Amino acid sequence: MPTVYLETFGCQMNELDSQLVSSRLRTLGYTFTPQADSADVVLYNTCSVREHAEQKVWSRLGELALRKARQPGLVVGVLGCMAEREGEGLIRRMPVVDVMAGPAELDRLPELLDNALKTRRALLAESATQHLLMTPEGIRPDLTLLRSAGQVALHGDTGRRSSTLAAAADQLELLDLSRSTSPDEHSGSAYVRITRGCNKFCTYCVVPFTRGAEVHRPPEHIIDECKRLADAGVIEITLLGQTVNHYRFEHDAATIVDGVVQPQKGRAYVHRRGVHEDPYKREKGERVTTFADLLYRIHEEVPSVRRLRFVTSYPRSFGDDVLQVIRDCPRICRYLHVPAQSGSDRMLRAMNRGYSVGEYLEFIDRARQHLHQPEIGRPLTIAGDIIVGFPGETEEDFLATADLLRRVRYKNCFIFKYSPRPGTVAHERLTDDVPDPVKRRRNYELLTLQAQISDEVSREYIGSELDVFVQSLSKRQSRRQRQTGALAATEHRSLIRLTVSAAGTHARPGDQSPHDDQGCCATHEKIEHTGPSEPEDHTLPVQMSARSDGDLIVFIDAPPGTPPDALIGSIVRVRVESASGLALHARPV
């Protein structure tokens, strides 16, 4: 069977999509390689939210065009939001691409790949026997036929689904239901999707167009998936949704196809401005699973999951019921990623965010009242997103955003410089009128301010004890081992994951972005936290990278005699000894 190289750009949602796709392909006999050069099939799972990610893919495709001239049997695929947004234009610009599948069509990828591979093999055989060229070196097959034929372009479904039945026909659910729980794919931590798509239409964002309308998965499917992952050794689960707290499944409206309960389209709610209300709560007599219900059920029904977290929260419509469940369930992490995007009401209106700065701060204060309990070792940490240089942003708007950062004191914040994304309302209707040098200056000033705040927040932990989930060798440790040629089995295991999941963009909530373009909910690219650089000393203990309950990055040294592999995927009690920037340095107790 062909070998596949799969590289993912962008976000946790894309990373999960890549895991599901690779699971499916493995069960069909495909094998995966971390080396693009030796693969028969090269797939890029892409993100359109930020221009930076798309540019990387264009560059990779340019390189593949040269390679395909030498290796005409190579099959190249572009998956995800970029395939959806660019459509046929992508193939016209890059004829090297054989297969495209948007986020809503990934269930069809095996069929498309099979078709593309067979087509290319047939054309190759035909060229070898029937299309021969005389060259100075002798007779050889004419492969030009292969360079322009055999493409299987599946245009993304850009039409938003308009009915519950259309959502019910969503075959993507099968992809989630059939996921593999192999330890090679999770290392003790896994993502579980609870909703797809988004109904918000923020003016800068492509997600509602590329991923479609908000669709909620049946709670039984989600809980069953969590149980299967837990049985396979997963102890940390992150629930994913673009607006994760909007989750709501109405059992009386559920549809069943071939005996399987189908995902359900999200409902549009009217919001009364200035009044806190929870439109997502259960009304009397309704058979509904709300987000609070879902969190509680997973916590109670899957007790071997020791950490349950979720991203990304939408600041409006976040009910007290969710906060109460988090407070009462000790294994739900006290961490909220709640993008504000701006500290100016004028900008929030232009972005169509649907809340004011006052409403955002009301939510932050309410969350802290419910959840901040440092006296029992459980402080609440909050991460955010900010866009600078949105059309029309004045110096006054910018200063209001800086005030918001000071007021909220995020443990970290993704700060992005606005760039218009084709297909969005802002691109079509608003003039990108903030000069680039001004955007850069504002971006830099906010990053500097947030770095100070992050440093202060991190230092508050010095001397405290935390439970941390050990994820991997630290980047510094990996670099040391690569330099000495001692690539441990530990890292080999990580490499397998990277190949099928992120290839260096292993996005996590809580990473502070140095990049330029704006983000959207649940889409962030990883920062490499390497710790302070120092001369290599191979007598140093093995340094591991871990995360606290509040998603703080914690570096610890493996105790002497403990193989690093034995620590990965476990939760360890540590005492924080020092802090710098976004990272804590701790020692196991």
Residue ranges that bind ligand SF4, judged by CB under 6 A: 198, 200-202, 205, 207-208, 242-243, 314, 520-521
Buried b (16+ CB within 10 A) or exposed e, 409-435: bbbbbbbbbbbbbebbbbbeebebebe
- In angstroms, what is the minimal distance from the CB of 464 to ligand SF4? 33
Cβ atoms of residues 18 and 502 within 8 Å: yes
Which tokens belong to 362? 């009301």
Q: Closest CB to ligand SF4 among 13 and 78?
A: 13
Q: Closest CB to ligand SF4 among 42 and 520?
A: 520
Q: Closest CB to ligand SF4 among 404 and 572?
A: 404
DSSP lists the bridge partners of residue 580 as 583
Q: Closest CB to ligand SF4 among 152 and 426?
A: 426
Q: Closest CB to ligand SF4 among 338 and 583?
A: 338
Q: Closest CB to ligand SF4 among 426 and 556?
A: 426
**Host H or E run for residue 51:** helix 51-70
Q: How far is residue 589's CA from residue 586's CA, in Å, rounded to a whole number?
A: 9
Q: Closest CB to ligand SF4 among 421 and 506?
A: 421
Q: How far is residue 453's CA from residue 482's CA, in Å, rounded to a whole number?
A: 34
Query: Smallest Cα–Cα separation from 573: which of 554, 586, 585, 589?
Result: 589
The SS3 of residue 282 is: coil
- In angstroms, what is the minimal distance from the CB of 407 to ligand SF4? 22
H helical segments located in 131-198: 144-148, 164-168, 172-177
Residue 275 CB neighbour total at 10 angstroms: 7
Q: Closest CB to ligand SF4 among 500 and 520?
A: 520
Give Cα separations from 532 to 76, 82, 115, 579 (angstroms): 39, 36, 49, 11
Query: Smallest Cα–Cα separation from 311: which of 517, 102, 524?
Result: 524
- In angstroms, what is the minimal distance from the CB of 417 to ligand SF4? 16
Across 131-253, the runs of DSSP E, i.e. the strands, are: 132-135, 138-141, 152-153, 189-193, 195-196, 215-216, 236-240, 248-250
- In angstroms, what is the minimal distance from the CB of 516 to ligand SF4? 17
Tokens 């002497």 correspond to 560
Which tokens belong to 421? 């994304």
- In angstroms, what is the minimal distance from the CB of 163 to ligand SF4? 20
H helical segments located in 80-137: 81-86, 88-93, 109-130
- In angstroms, what is the minimal distance from the CB of 136 to ligand SF4? 57
- In angstroms, what is the minimal distance from the CB of 385 to ligand SF4? 8
- In angstroms, what is the minimal distance from the CB of 353 to ligand SF4? 7
Distance spanning both ends of the chain, measured CA to CA: 48
The SS3 of residue 306 is: coil
- In angstroms, what is the minimal distance from the CB of 201 to ligand SF4? 6
Q: Closest CB to ligand SF4 among 414 and 555?
A: 414
Q: Closest CB to ligand SF4 among 170 and 185?
A: 170
Q: Closest CB to ligand SF4 among 242 and 477?
A: 242
- In angstroms, what is the minimal distance from the CB of 203 to ligand SF4? 9
If phi over 0 gives left and psi between -120 and 50 gives alpha, with beta otherwise, what is residue 7? Answer: beta
Give Cα separations from 428 to 105, 388, 422, 424, 516 (angstroms): 26, 19, 8, 6, 20
Q: Closest CB to ligand SF4 among 490 and 523?
A: 523
Which tokens belong to 190? 């896994």
- In angstroms, what is the minimal distance from the CB of 83 to ligand SF4? 18
Residue 15 CB neighbour total at 10 angstroms: 24
- In angstroms, what is the minimal distance from the CB of 200 to ligand SF4? 4
- In angstroms, what is the minimal distance from the CB of 214 to ligand SF4? 8
Q: How far is residue 197's CA from residue 508's CA, in Å, rounded to a whole number?
A: 19
Give me the count of residues in the chain. Answer: 589
The SS3 of residue 96 is: coil
Q: How far is residue 508's CA from residue 9's CA, in Å, rounded to a whole number?
A: 13
- In angstroms, what is the minimal distance from the CB of 309 to ligand SF4? 18
Q: Closest CB to ligand SF4 among 246 and 497?
A: 246
Which tokens belong to 477? 């440790």
For residue 218, the number of C-alpha atoms closer than 13 Å in the C-beta half-sphere is 21
Q: Closest CB to ligand SF4 among 186 and 211?
A: 211
Q: How far is residue 472's CA from residue 490's CA, in Å, rounded to a whole number?
A: 8
Amino acid at 73: G
Buried b (16+ CB within 10 A) or exposed e, 164-175: beebbebebbeb
